[in-house]
C-alpha cells in the first residue's frame, strides 16, 4: 500500500490510480477464450468487437443466440427443455435452500430500502400546473436489471436495484443473471428477487443479457431502461445500447475513500479499507489524513487484520494495486483531495463530522462519524448502494426512484396566454427561417383576434 506525503504528491497519485474505462489490452487468457468462441477472426480481438458481435447476433437470433453464448462463454449446459426464464417452482424452492436467518435479514434490509425510497418518492413527484404550463411525472413501464456473479453472488444488489424501481411505480421489473453450468441460479438471488417483487428472472449472462433486455427476444421482454453493474463486456454493451434504451450509468471498480483526523480509531479505519479491498482486486481503498501517526497506525492495522480474512488474496491485490495512504498538510486539504477524486463512498472519520459534511461536494454517499460503517450502507441503511464510480460522482447520483421516473412537459394555453407568448415566438421562428412555424402561431393569433 503506497504512502505519500503532501497534497501535490497525493493529487498526482490519485490521478494515476484512476483507470478510465477503455480498450486496454485484454489479458492473454481472455484473448484465448475469445479465439475459442469466435474462431481465428482477428477482427474480434478487442472487448468492443466482441460486444458488437454479440449484440448483433442476439438482435438477429433472439433466444437461440442467448442460449448459444450462455453455453460458449459461461459454460451453461442446462438440461433439455430448461427455459431461459426461471420457473415459479424454482423461485419457491429457493427458500428451502437459504437459511431462515438470511431470509429474515434480506426481508429486514428490503423493508429499510423500501422505507427510504418511499421518502425519496415524496420529493420526486413534483408535478405542477401554473397558467397552462406544467409537468407530469410518470414511472417507466418496464425495467431490466443485470446482476452479475455465479461464484460470488449479490442478493443485496437485487434489493438495492429492484426496490427503488418498484417504489417509483415501474409496472414490470425483470432480472437477467448468469447461470451455473447446470443452468441453476443461486437461491440467494432468487429469494432476493422474490422479496423485491421482481416479475421474472432470466438465465442470461454478460453482453448477451444486455442485448436481450435492450432488443427483446422470444422469452426476454424488451425494456425501457437497464440497470446494474458488470464486467468490461457488460459495461461496453450498456454503452452500446444507450439511446435505444436508458441505462443507469457506466460503473467501474468500487472505491472507498476515508478522510480521518487524529481522533479516528486506526482499527476501524483499517477495517473499512479492508471491507472495500475484499470486493475486487481492482477495488480502491484510500486513506487521506493530516496525521502521520494515524497513517502509520492504520497501515499496521491493515497488515494485522489482513491475515484473518477469507478473501485476503483479493484484498491484498487491491491494496497493492490501488491502495493508498496520503498524508496531507491539513484536514481541509484532505477534503479538497477527496472532492477532486469524487469517490463512490466517502467516510468522514473525524471529530464533529457534521461540521465537515458541508465541505463535501463530490461523493456517491457520505458516512459521517466512526460508527457509520460503509458496510452498513451496503446492506441495511436504506439508500441504494448502486452509486457512481470512476469520478462520476462529480455529475451523477446514487440509484434512486428518480432513475425510474420521467417528466413530460405540458403546454395548455388559453387566449390570454397565446396572446402573450405567440408574437415573440413567431418573430423568432421567422428569424430562424421557419415560415411554417410562424404561420402555425399566427393563424391561431388571427383566430383569437377574430
Q: In the numeric block, which cell numbers belong to residue 161?
A: 436495484
* DSSP per-residue codes, 220-287: SPP-SEEE----HHHHHHHHHHBTTBEES----S-EEEEEE-TTS-HHHHHHHHHHHHTT-TT-EEEE
Secondary structure class of 300 (helix, strand, coil): helix
Given 278, 301, 333, 344, which residue is catalytic?
344
Helix spans in 151-241 (H): 155-168, 187-196, 206-215, 232-241
At residue 213's C-alpha, the angle toward residues 110 and 398, to 5°, is: 45
Please count the other Cβ atoms lying within 10 Å of the Cβ belonging to residue 351: 14
CA angle 346, 254, 198 (to 5 degrees): 105
Could you say which of 279, 301, 333, 345 is catalytic? 345
Distance of alpha carbon 237 from alpha carbon 247, whole angstroms? 11
Coil vs helix vs strand at 406: strand
Q: Which helix or strand (DSSP H or E) is residue 291 part of? A: none
Instruction: Indicate the DSSP class of residue 204.
Output: -
Phi, psi of 196 (to 5 degrees): -80, -10
In 3D space, the residue among 214, 235, 218, 216 whose CA is nearest the CA of residue 226 turns out to be: 214
Residues 6+ apart with CB under 8 A from 292: 5, 327
Is the CA virtual torsion 410, 416, 421, 425 positive or negative?
positive
Please state, in angstroms and rounded to a whole number, the distance separating the CA atoms of residues 303 and 444.
Answer: 77
Question: Of 182, 181, 162, 180, whose CA–CA distance to 172 is shortest?
Answer: 162
Residue 201 sits at φ, ψ, to 5 deg, of -120, 135
Give the integer Cα–Cα distance in Å for 211 and 52. Answer: 10
Q: Say how far apart CA 189 and CA 203 lie, in whole Å.
A: 12
The Cα 435–Cα 341 span in angstroms is 50
Among residues 46, 166, 76, 72, the alpha carbon closest in space to that of 117 is found at 166
Instruction: State the Cα–Cα distance between residues 105 and 109, nearest whole angstrom.
Output: 6
The yes-or-no answer on residue 345 being catalytic is yes
Catalytic residues: 344-345
Amino acid at each position: 500500500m503506497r504512502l505519500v506525503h503532501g497534497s501535490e504528491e497525493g493529487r498526482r497519485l490519485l490521478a494515476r490510480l484512476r483507470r478510465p474505462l477503455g480498450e486496454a489490452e485484454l489479458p492473454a487468457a481472455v484473448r484465448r477464450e475469445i479465439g475459442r468462441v469466435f474462431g481465428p477472426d482477428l477482427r474480434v480481438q478487442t472487448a468492443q468487437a466482441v460486444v458488437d458481435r454479440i449484440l448483433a447476433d442476439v438482435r438477429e437470433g433472439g433466444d437461440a443466440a442467448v442460449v448459444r453464448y450462455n453455453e460458449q462463454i459461461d459454460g451453461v449446459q442446462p438440461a433439455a427443455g430448461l427455459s431461459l426464464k426461471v420457473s415459479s417452482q424454482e423461485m419457491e424452492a429457493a427458500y428451502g435452500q437459504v437459511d431462515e436467518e438470511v431470509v429474515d435479514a434480506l426481508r429486514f434490509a428490503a423493508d429499510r430500502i423500501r422505507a427510504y425510497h418511499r421518502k425519496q418518492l415524496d420529493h420526486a413527484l413534483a408535478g405542477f400546473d401554473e397558467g397552462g404550463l406544467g409537468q407530469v411525472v410518470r414511472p417507466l413501464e418496464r425495467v431490466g436489471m443485470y446482476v452479475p456473479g455465479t461464484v460470488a453472488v449479490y442478493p443485496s444488489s437485487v434489493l438495492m436495484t429492484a426496490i427503488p424501481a418498484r417504489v417509483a411505480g415501474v409496472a414490470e421489473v425483470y432480472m437477467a443473471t448468469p447461470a451455473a453450468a447446470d443452468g441453476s441460479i443461486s437461491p440467494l438471488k432468487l429469494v432476493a428477487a422474490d422479496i423485491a417483487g421482481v416479475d421474472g428472472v432470466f438465465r442470461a449472462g454478460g453482453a448477451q443479457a444486455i442485448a436481450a433486455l435492450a432488443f427483446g427476444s422470444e422469452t426476454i421482454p424488451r425494456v425501457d431502461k437497464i440497470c446494474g453493474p458488470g464486467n468490461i463486456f457488460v459495461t461496453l454493451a450498456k454503452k452500446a445500447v444507450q439511446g435505444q434504451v436508458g441505462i443507469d450509468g457506466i460503473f467501474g471498480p468500487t472505491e472507498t475513500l476515508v478522510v480521518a483526523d487524529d481522533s479516528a480509531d486506526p482499527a476501524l479505519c483499517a477495517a473499512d479499507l479492508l471491507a472495500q479491498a475484499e470486493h475486487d482486486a481492482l477495488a480502491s481503498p484510500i486513506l487521506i489524513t493530516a496525521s502521520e501517526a494515524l497513517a502509520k497506525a492504520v497501515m499496521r492495522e491493515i497488515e494485522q487484520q489482513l491475515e484473518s480474512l477469507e478473501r485476503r488474496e483479493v484484498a491484498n491485490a487491491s491494496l497493492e494495486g490501488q491502495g493508498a495512504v496520503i498524508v496531507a498538510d491539513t484536514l481541509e486539504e484532505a477534503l479538497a483531495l477527496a472532492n477532486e477524486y469524487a469517490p463512490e463512498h466517502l467516510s468522514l472519520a473525524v471529530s464533529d463530522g457534521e461540521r465537515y459534511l458541508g465541505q463535501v461536494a463530490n461523493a456517491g454517499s457520505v458516512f459521517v462519524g466512526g460508527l457509520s460503517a460503509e458496510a452498513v450502507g451496503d446492506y441495511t441503511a436504506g439508500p441504494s448502494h448502486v452509486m457512481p464510480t470512476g469520478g462520476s460522482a462529480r455529475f451523477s447520483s446514487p440509484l434512486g426512484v428518480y432513475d425510474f421516473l420521467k417528466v413530460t412537459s405540458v403546454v395548455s394555453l388559453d387566449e390570454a396566454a397565446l396572446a402573450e407568448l405567440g408574437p415573440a415566438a413567431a418573430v423568432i421562428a421567422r428569424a430562424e427561417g421557419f415560415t411554417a412555424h410562424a404561420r402555425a402561431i399566427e393563424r391561431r393569433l388571427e383566430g383569437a383576434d377574430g
